[in-house]
Structure 1
Amino acid sequence: MAVFKFFHPLVWIILGGTIFTRIASFMAMPFLAIYLHNEIGASPLEIGITIGIAPLLSTVSGFFGGYFTDRFGRKIVILSTILVWSIVFFGFATAQSIWLFVLFNALNGLCRSFFEPSTQALMIDFTPADKRKRLFSLRYTAINIAAVIGPIIGVYIAKLANPSMPFILTGIMYIIYTIFLFFVLNHYTAQASQPSTKTSIRQTFTILLTNRVLLSFILGAILINIGYSQFDSTLPQFIELKIEDGVALYSLLISLNAGVVLLLQLPISIVTERFSTTTTLLVGVLFFALGLLLFGFSTNYPLYITAMVIFTIGEIFAFPTMNVMIDEIAPDTQKGTYLGAAQFRNLGGFIGPIIGGWLLTHYLDGMFIIIAILVLCSALFYRMKPQQS
């Protein structure tokens, strides 16, 4: 079929693998907090430490994951990471101590910070520059497909078997994917000489710190992520305070978010191919801010639904475009390093709930106005045009 000729076969394989591995992950990880409470008897503080260690470590170690994939090659980093990752999930299934769960979830965050830049860099290696916008849009769609399917399967399996079975099945799926990728990467990576950097890790870190365009991107992305993090943190609490049976409405909004992404991701990505990455990202910022503002003024189901649609359109414009912008900033020999360094933007996901929680307590009615202004301020960091590599 002509559609499958649009990308290199290896790219389609990695995209399919993204759905496969994310379904596996979504079967288990969304229920980790419940599992810790019910099976281990962990306290809220212990659960918070366990859950929070993964994104924190992923943010800090993303640079190293990206650097290693440029220094030692995509194949060795991808295969070794996913093999360790499978062991992590078997560890979740068998651990009895809360501190073992902290250790395994730290390794989970570390594996993600190595795996994500390496697979993205590999797809970039095999995709012409003019097709990369659509590539990252399809990748984002693949993640959302998995986010819809994975939790449903996970709940079903946990009910049929024991609560640890989703973790065991996830580990098995990761081993299967490791074996499959071993043969695939041996075949395809031999066909192309992948760029590699000989720069030391210290020199590379110094270069990144002096790259004003990259630093501006990260600072702006942190502000965007502060806004997006409200979806999972303060929005459900806000709705519960404003609407009777707020849980039902929030559940509807979660489904609506996934549905809008799956429906509009590809059409929007095709439209945005005519515009620069900066323009596309700024449009996303505008939709994000409008959606957040409308959340603050909403008083009924139709308004919240409208706000969610606008907010999700901002997500569709912004998030895939961020990876395209990093690709444009990064030199050919440091794609992985820059993609890894860009993980520092996830600090917004750590800071956002703290800011939102404080505003929820002290400034409820103006909370989303302030968050929307913060998101709009990200536009100030995207005035510098990314340099083509």
Structure 2
Amino acid sequence: MNTQLKQIHPLCWTIIAGTIFGRMATSMSIPFLSIYLIKFLHSTPAEAGAVVAVSSLIGVFASFYGGYISDVIGRKSVLFISVFGWSLVFFGFAAADRIWVFFMMNALNGLCRAMFEPTSRALLADITPRENKLLIFNLRYAAINIGVVFGPLLGMWLGTTQSGLGFLIAGIVYLSYGVLLVVQFLAHREIGGAMPSGGDRLTLSEALRVTGKDRTFMYVLIGMIFCVLGYGYFDSTLAQYMEMSPYVTDGAKWFGYMISLNAVVVLIVQYPIVKFVSRFSPALPLIAGNLLVAISMLVFGSFHQIWTFMLGVVIFTIGEVLMFTMTDVLVDRIAKPDLRGTYFGVFGFNNFGNVLAPLLGGLLLNSLGAASAALIFAILALTTVCGIPFLFRAHRQLQRTSGYTDHQAA
């Protein structure tokens, strides 16, 4: 392990460190966005759901382009545009006082994320040897959760559910992150430029056709849409339910603790789970994770004591780790090297689940009311498990693909 850590490129460490502080700053405010809109701008759950959903909606349609364009103009150019743009977006959030302004800012938030995320993952894959890629992707995933452990707690302490301070802090953090990336790329000028085209680079439409014809990739992508749908209910529908529930007092406070518990459990179970599931075909952990997330939805809707909510978070988190720890490595293995950014970008279509989650959850809360929690969360669980047939087909495809036998034995 120490030898592998020493082999990690300095740019990788910059991205991992930036991920910790970026997610910490973001999670001070974004998870509480729907609560803030309902409590202080008096929006309906459906309006708050639309504001939350637009970020993922933009991400669905922009992520494939962000990944593709990083193959064309270079990773560092896309990273600079997105991270400095992100800083401006959060300053815009801090100044917003109308629902439509929040809608526009969250749309731009989704655009920046759609450009930054696939590009940063493609860069990590570019500069990391194959034998270290599982480690580097899981370090990135751990970094996300380290940030999310402390972000919501800091947000509650600073009162960011009642002010724009959290947005202002996030803007400053992303501005600092961008400056650090500039310094690092100046020190490593040979990294992050445009990939050699050889005179026959595929157009965007041709690149999309290549990924669309990759059956294994498409099964994984469709299955992950439903996984992300189930995951998206946590930050959107559950947050609104905790605020509106007749069974819970101080719902926003308890939801903040639930977010932090989620991140703590990720950090505790991630390494043993990754070590265990690396023995299996990479689609099987996704299937198990999908099922556990669906079970957690039933727990949230059926029981109303605080300890049962915390139990639901633990079940949900184990499912989350099973779903997300292997996906980046899997996409990297499937992707053609000269289209790595495009594959990671197209995989961003799984965020269609994050688009549907707040819309469907908000609609159910509007029409049925928070008192009908058992029915609402049963519907959410049912929509989540719809991904299992697609993931099983992906598993069968992977078994037929000899290139994955080494991975199964890893």
TM-score by length of 2: 0.80
Aligned to 1:209: 212
Per-residue deviation at 1:261?
0.7
| 1:210-359 matched pairs, under 5 angstroms | 210-235=213-238, 237=241, 247=251, 253-292=258-297, 305-355=310-360
Aligned to 1:86: 87
Equivalent position to 1:379, from 379, 391, 394:
391
| 1:1-389 matched pairs, under 5 angstroms | 2=3, 4-33=5-34, 41=41, 43-44=43-44, 47-158=48-159, 163-190=163-190, 195-196=195-196, 198-235=201-238, 237=241, 247=251, 253-292=258-297, 305-355=310-360, 361=368, 364=375, 366-367=378-379, 370-371=382-383, 373-382=385-394, 383-385=396-398
AA in 2 matched with 1:145 = I
Structure 2 CA distance for partners of 1:80 and 1:234, relative to 1, 3 Å: closer
- Bigger mean CA offset, 138-147 vs 90-99: 90-99
Structure 2 CA distance for partners of 1:326 and 1:175, relative to 1, 3 Å: same
In 2, the alpha carbon distance for the partners of 1:103 and 1:137 equals 32
Structure 2: gaps (5+ residues): 405-410
Instruction: Answer whether contact 1:27 1:150 (CA < 8 A) is retained.
Output: yes
Number of positions where the alignment pairs a residue of Structure 1 with one of Structure 2: 386
Per-residue deviation at 1:207?
1.9
Instruction: Answer whether contact 2:222 2:390 (CA < 8 A) is retained.
Output: yes
**Aligned alpha-carbon RMSD (Å):** 3.5
3-state SS of paired residue (1:59):
helix
Instruction: Answer whether contact 1:225 1:345 (CA < 8 A) is retained.
Output: yes
AA in 2 matched with 1:220 = G
3-state SS of paired residue (2:397):
coil
AA in 1 matched with 2:146 = I
AA in 1 matched with 2:76 = K
Structure 2 CA distance for partners of 1:293 and 1:189, relative to 1, 3 Å: farther
Per-residue deviation at 1:56?
0.9
Instruction: Answer whether contact 2:148 2:259 (CA < 8 A) is retained.
Output: no
Deviation per CA, 1:250-300: give whole Å up to 9, x if none: 665444322211211123223333334223333433443454555566576
3-state SS of paired residue (1:27):
coil
Structure 2 CA distance for partners of 1:384 and 1:72, relative to 1, 3 Å: same
Deviation per CA, 1:204-243: give whole Å up to 9, x if none: 1222222222221111111222322333455564998796
- Bigger mean CA offset, 172-181 vs 370-379: 370-379
TM-score by length of 1: 0.84
Per-residue deviation at 1:182?
0.6
Aligned to 2:407: none
AA in 2 matched with 1:226 = L
- Bigger mean CA offset, 57-66 vs 90-99: 90-99
AA in 2 matched with 1:182 = V
Per-residue deviation at 1:153?
2.7
3-state SS of paired residue (1:202):
helix
Instruction: Answer whether contact 1:226 1:375 (CA < 8 A) is retained.
Output: no
Instruction: Answer whether contact 2:35 2:243 (CA < 8 A) is retained.
Output: no
Per-residue deviation at 1:123?
0.7
Misfit runs of 4+, over 6 Å = 238-242, 357-360
Instruction: Answer whether contact 2:83 2:174 (CA < 8 A) is retained.
Output: yes
3-state SS of paired residue (1:163):
coil
Structure 2 CA distance for partners of 1:303 and 1:48, relative to 1, 3 Å: closer
Structure 2 CA distance for partners of 1:250 and 1:118, relative to 1, 3 Å: closer
Deviation per CA, 1:283-325: give whole Å up to 9, x if none: 4334434545555665766665444323321211111212221
